[in-house]
Structure 1
Amino acid sequence: MKIDDWLLEILACPACRSPLRAEPDADELTCTSGACGLVYPVRDDIPVLLVDEARKP
């Protein structure tokens, strides 16, 4: 997965507005909020930030 650092700084979880963290071993972005924690897929280096597409940890 190749997402620029500047982009990760501005991306936020659409459900709770917390910052997202890139998972190095998987093509996923994880919400940093302990209450939310949704995991969003990254397809073809494009984050899919749809709550319907996210999975619970």
Structure 2
Amino acid sequence: MIFCIVILVYKLNWPIIQNIALLSYFTKTVILLFNFVLKYSKMNLIITFHVLS
């Protein structure tokens, strides 16, 4: 009986669990991209600074 309830709750919550996993993965990807862009823009700033000076 308890086992059936656990399965039912798990099945109902599965989309939520999947969404949380996807959300964390998406957040990690965004953070990585943001870091990359930040490093790249810093490099570009340094290069332009060298070119200007």
Higher strand share: 1
Which has the higher Rg, Structure 1 or Structure 2?
Answer: 2
- Give the TM-score band, short-chain normalised: under 0.3
| Higher RCO, 1 vs 2 (CA within 8 Å, ≥6 residues apart) | 1
TM-score by length of 1: 0.18
TM-score by length of 2: 0.18
